[in-house]
Amino acid sequence: MFCFQCEQTAGGKGCAFNAGVCGKKNTTANLQDNLTGSLITLAKNTPKDKEEETAELILKGLFTTITNVNFDDETLKTLIDEVKNAGGNEPFDMKKIWNENEDIRSLKSLILFGIKGMAAYAYHAAVLGYREPVVDRFFFEALRGIGDMNADLRKLLPMVMKTGEINLKCMELLDRANTETYGNPIPTAVTMKVEKGPFIVVTGHDLYDLKKLLEQTEGKGVNVYTHGEMLPAHGYPELKKYPHLKGNFGTAWQNQQKEFADIPGAVLFTTNCLMPVKDSYADRVFTTEVVEYPEMVHIGEDKDFTPVIEKAIELGGYKEDMLFTGINGGSTLMTGFAHGTVLEKAPEVVEAVKSGEIKHFFLVGGCDGAKPGRNYYTEFVKMTPKDSVVLTLACGKYRFNDLDLGTVAGLPRIMDMGQCNDAYSAIKVAVALAEAFGCSVNELPLSMVISWYEQKAVAVLLTLLHLGIKNIYLGPTLPAFISPKVLELLVDQYNISPISTPAEDLKKMLG
């Protein structure tokens, strides 16, 4: 196998053994490469007037190959056959890309990993009935470009930037799908207490699956708790109206093997963030959508969650209420500060900046991960000045979202804007502030500190670069798939910096 698409890849270079650091076996990695190669061939063989009807299969295939999504070889074989039958026969050999000139390989990897992340967002929107032809068409264009063995830097560089441009449209599409379906998020305090009695923990990103589960558990004495990237669901009116959506269990995805050990409840994985399942909780894990793991019960397209509910009732839950805490000891988390809420307070925010009450904004967010060094983000947020606001999103927030930093100008100093795709909210707020002050985003008292782990973070980063946003601090390590020449280009044009220490970086940001 060879894989270097996530941040924790072996030795910072690439997983090339019998198993990846994520737990993916070499057979699974090779099947995923085979699937990607089949998708490249399918894109090449699909006439432009047939792209719309083939796009759904492209989305599913790309999403399935994201880190920590699908570990089931038999499912991958079935999907490969489906892609081949649709026109993806004679799969493109991915070794051709992995063995290319390092700069070409680097740019093609940025495009490939970017569209994998974008496919996840497009898939979630499509589940709710929202599609965007410009987005769908770009997957075909990008896959053809990746498979073009004559492509040079002049052709690939614009496609890298276009990946960021189209991902912005895709995030806007998903934002519209979520808000028009579930309402605009509102600030909500979420407890980490788990009440006694049967319960189900829902993790991943798919709000539709959570909604279906809430409907099916209504009146059955089974409580529902979010986990990981599902935390922002508590801010949506159409989800928070269910009284048995009680709170949040546990923290970020990489802690699941410890937090789910012997859990007396059922766990439903709706999208990515699945880790190899331990024996201590294997009998209570269920999957749905594209996420699968060998021997785990998978809930199909009918979305009949009866097996999950029955398992929760069988296990019975905790005998008494249990109060859990985050990594810093806090037991309440705030969420729901999407662009709609923040922009409603834009006049007050602008006035607070003009008066000097708020002196700086920090966007500290992105993917969390298991490698050492990520406590940087906890320490960084702790050290931010009291006259600053910390905007956050994605699962990276679990490093500090249970901290009580108080308020500034009547606003909480930590504002959770949502899931990773809600980077769209952060962009909307930044652009609105720039317009209010008559300056560019780069001239705002705003610093971005981005943590990355998997491919959706790559898509978001490319969107920020497409918008011309500079001075991003990226960590905990730089991507292994970025060649020295491509890195030099990004540093020269966008002044991307690797994180160093919280104190040193804060000093640079605050000038």
DSSP string, 16-85: -SSB-TTS-BHHHHHHHHHHHHHHHHHHHHS-GGGHHHHHHHHHHHHHHTSTTTB--HHHHHHHHHHHII
pLDDT digit string, tens, across residues 376-386: 999 999 999 99
What's the rounded mean pLDDT across residues 127-132?
97
pLDDT at 371: 79
Is 162 assigned to a binding site? no
pLDDT at 18: 87
Per the listing, tokens 């020295």 go with 484
Residues in Cβ contact with 41 at an 8 Å cutoff, skipping those fewer than 6 apart = 87, 88, 89, 90, 91, 92, 147
What's the rounded mean pLDDT across residues 302-320?
98
pLDDT at 78: 98
What's the rounded mean pLDDT across residues 352-370?
95
In this structure, the strands spanning 407-408 and 411-412 are: antiparallel
| Res. 372: pLDDT tops 90 | no
Task: Tell me 88's DSSP state.
Answer: I
pLDDT digit string, tens, across residues 268-307: 999 889 999 999 999 999 999 999 999 999 999 999 999 9
Task: Tell me 276's DSSP state.
Answer: P
Is 6 assigned to a binding site? yes
pLDDT digit string, tens, across residues 157-198: 999 999 999 999 999 999 999 999 999 999 999 999 999 999
Is 3 assigned to a binding site? yes
pLDDT at 477: 93
pLDDT at 379: 97
Is 439 assigned to a binding site? no
Per the listing, tokens 């709000």 go with 207
Tell me yes or no: is domain 10-181 CATH 3.40.309.10: no
pLDDT at 209: 98
Look at the domain 188-323 and name its fold: Rossmann fold (3.40.50)
- Which of 142, 132, 144, 140 minimizes the C-alpha distance to 168? 132
The residue length of the chain stands at: 511
- Phi then psi for residue 85, to 5 deg, are -65, -25
What's the rounded mean pLDDT across residues 103-115?
98
What's the rounded mean pLDDT across residues 71-96?
96
C-alpha–C-alpha distance, residues 63 and 196, integer Å:
36
In one-letter notation, the amino acid at residue 279 is D
Omega prior to 479 cis, within 30 of 0:
no
> How far, CA to CA in Å, does 26 sit from each of 14, 73, 80?
13, 10, 17
- % helix / strand / coil in the chain, to the nearest 5? 50, 15, 35
What's the rounded mean pLDDT across residues 145-156?
96
pLDDT at 384: 98
Is 454 assigned to a binding site? yes
pLDDT at 175: 98
Check if the beta carbon of residue 421 is closer than 8 Å to that of residue 175: yes
pLDDT at 172: 98
CATH code reported for the domain at 336-510: 3.40.50.2030
Percent of the chain with pLDDT over 90: 97
Q: What is the mean pLDDT of the chain?
A: 96
Percent of the chain with pLDDT over 70: 100
pLDDT digit string, tens, across residues 400-409: 999 999 999 9
| Res. 99: pLDDT tops 90 | yes
Check if the beta carbon of residue 22 is closer than 8 Å to that of residue 8: yes
The confidence band for 126, taking pLDDT boundaries of 50, 70 and 90, is very high
pLDDT at 480: 95
In one-letter notation, the amino acid at residue 6 is C
Is 395 assigned to a binding site? yes
Is 170 assigned to a binding site? no
In this structure, the strands spanning 297-299 and 285-288 are: parallel
C-alpha–C-alpha distance, residues 231 and 243, integer Å:
16
Q: Range(s) for CATH 3.40.50.2030 in the chain?
A: 188-323, 336-510
C-alpha–C-alpha distance, residues 90 and 74, integer Å:
19
Q: Range(s) for CATH 1.20.1270.20 in the chain?
A: 10-181
Per the listing, tokens 């971005």 go with 448
